[in-house]
Structure 1
Amino acid sequence: MSEKVWFITGLSSGFGRTLAEEVARNGDKVIGTVRQQCLLEEFNNISVGNTFAYLMDVTNPDGVKATIEAAFNHFGRLDVLVNNAGFGFLGAVEEATIKDYREVMETNFFGALQVTQAVLPYMRKQGSGRIIQMSSAAGFRATAGFGVYNASKFALEGMSEALALEVAPLGIKVTIVEPGPFRTNFAGTSIKAAKQEMPEYEATARIFKNNILGYAGQQEGDPQKAAQVIMQVVNAENPPLRLPLGSTAITAVRKKLEQVEEDIKSWESIAAHTSFDV
């Protein structure tokens, strides 16, 4: 089958919007979700007959199920799910409130989980499907001042690793995409921050916050090129479980792996001997 049906969440701007445009330009059908009525007609007109917008909030379980059911009934299949909806959050772990944590987790983790669970019955019935989980380099390696966001993406990655093992025998493949800094609105309208700023974190969390906000619109990554890579992954026979995107992300992932290996080597002689004596 050459033509695919994609379901992409959060496409008002950024990665979601760019990916949807590239997919439609390639001749595939794109179902995109937005949260504002005014965006429906605009997206439908991007590629008439190929782009179809639906109102949906990933944090609304009933709305998610109803939207996915309607999309499947309209097209008769769902080939690719891209969980893209989400937002960033800046602030030290101590500065953020529990309410802050819950709000970020509700969208970035539980929202993606709900959409995934709602799509899986259709993909299982088809015996095929691709799931793209839009994580971040921050979902693999944590940074001071990004702990809330790190937590949400680490959770997404842990769930997705297990999911990949569970659905592989069912003909469904999962890829976790880990972008570095790309020129989207992530560092602008798609990011929030803790209201409390403690002086104890000026040299750690605050520096990171200022760096993130300071390079809005100047990030090295080209979203269109990223979209083209994601499309290649979707069409690959053996897609990767993880896909760091951009040189910054690749460097960050490698540094984390080196750090873990160093920790293991430093303590292995002691940590390995924890079994009962025979």
Structure 2
Amino acid sequence: MTENREVWMITGAGRGMGVDIAKAALAAGHQVVATGRTGTVESALGASDDLLIVQLDLTKPGDAEEATAAAIDRFGRIDVLVNNAANFYAGYFEETSDAQVRAQLETNLFGPMNVTRAVLPIMRKQRSGHIITISSQAGIVGGEFIAAYATSKFAVEGWMESLRYDLEPYGIRTTIVEPGFFRTELLVEDASTIWAELSIDDYADRTAATIPGWRNMNGQQAGDPAKLGTALVRIAGEDHPPLRWVAGADAVAVIEQKARDILAQIDAHRELSIHLAHDA
């Protein structure tokens, strides 16, 4: 048993980044509640006395409550929640149906909210805990062909940044993780990627040219999810973990440029912006 042994609850632990986060937490000596589709999680992680596998559809609040209860029944506490499970609706906004946009938000925003609502009463009672939510560089920087996905991740950023102030008085910390492109299953069709279901002539040529690029990117991403998992365990073990952790050299470059662009845009209209008060 490690000196700082903790109980980690990880969503989407059956594939992609969630597998590597769970493996890293187990390797560090922690106990892990791995959630997702049960058979998928079992095949990805195997069996261990320190591992509890729980079925969880994060879009169903009842599933989140049952998974939390199972974690408490087995391990007695939850120290770290990693909101990792997500999917990716890709396409131009007008070609992404209203139902698809809502489905994107249901999984990527309301899903982690459901799980966090279930876990927070436990952490408040403990007066300790750490909520980690996997966002994306697309939660800071929007881009072409990702309107629905970026919307969901921008919303996650605002929720988590605000949640920090709600929870700090109870000893609960929050961290937003903003990965760049990692070699996970996010770009695997029928697993995590769903294309826009509408077709509009004005977008047809651009859509036809863009989809192959996204398909070809799968398996070629620079980021190593195993290294991310190990680094995330290190981040979680810090006495003062960051509010945001930008993960990957590509994300660092893109988000740094966004910060510079924002400052430049403020400076460009500074005089106009600061002289908007009522005249004395």
Scaled to the shorter chain, the TM-score interval is over 0.9
Instruction: Indicate whether 1:137 and 2:141 are aligned.
Output: no
User: In angstroms, what is the RMSD of aligned CA positions?
Assistant: 1.7
Aligned to 2:46: 45
1:212 counterpart SS class: helix
Separation in 1, partners of 2:253, 2:183: 18
**4+ residue segments displaced more than 4 Å:** 202-208
Look up the equivalent residue of 1:82 and give its one-letter code. V
Unaligned runs of 5+ in 1: none
Match of residue 227, structure 1, among 223, 226, 229? 229
Separation in 2, partners of 1:43, 1:54: 13
Matches within 5 A, 1:205-244: 208-244=210-246
1:237 counterpart SS class: coil
Residues 119-170 of structure 1, C-alpha deviations (whole Å, 9 max, x = no match):
1110111111111100100011100110100000111110000001221121
Separation in 1, partners of 2:211, 2:132: 28
The Cα of 1:254 is off from its aligned counterpart by: 0.9
Match of residue 10, structure 1, among 9, 12, 34? 12
**Between Structure 1 and Structure 2, how many residues are aligned?**
276
1:94 counterpart SS class: helix
The Cα of 1:74 is off from its aligned counterpart by: 2.0
Aligned to 1:86: 86
Alignment CA distance shift 1:101-1:14 (3 Å): same
Alignment CA distance shift 1:205-1:161 (3 Å): farther
Unaligned runs of 5+ in 2: none
Separation in 2, partners of 1:268, 1:274: 11
The Cα of 1:204 is off from its aligned counterpart by: 6.1
Q: Contact 2:132/2:174 (CA < 8 Å) preserved in 1?
A: yes
Matches within 5 A, 1:1-278: 2-35=4-37, 37-39=38-40, 41-42=42-43, 45-46=46-47, 48-188=48-188, 189-201=191-203, 208-278=210-280
Q: Contact 2:139/2:178 (CA < 8 Å) preserved in 1?
A: yes
Separation in 2, partners of 1:206, 1:119: 43
Q: Contact 1:145/1:206 (CA < 8 Å) preserved in 2?
A: no
Residues 65-103 of structure 1, C-alpha deviations (whole Å, 9 max, x = no match):
121122112211100000011101111111111100110
Q: Contact 1:43/1:51 (CA < 8 Å) preserved in 2?
A: no
What TM-score does the superposition give when structure 2 sets the normalisation length? 0.93
Separation in 2, partners of 1:127, 1:273: 45
1:276 counterpart SS class: coil
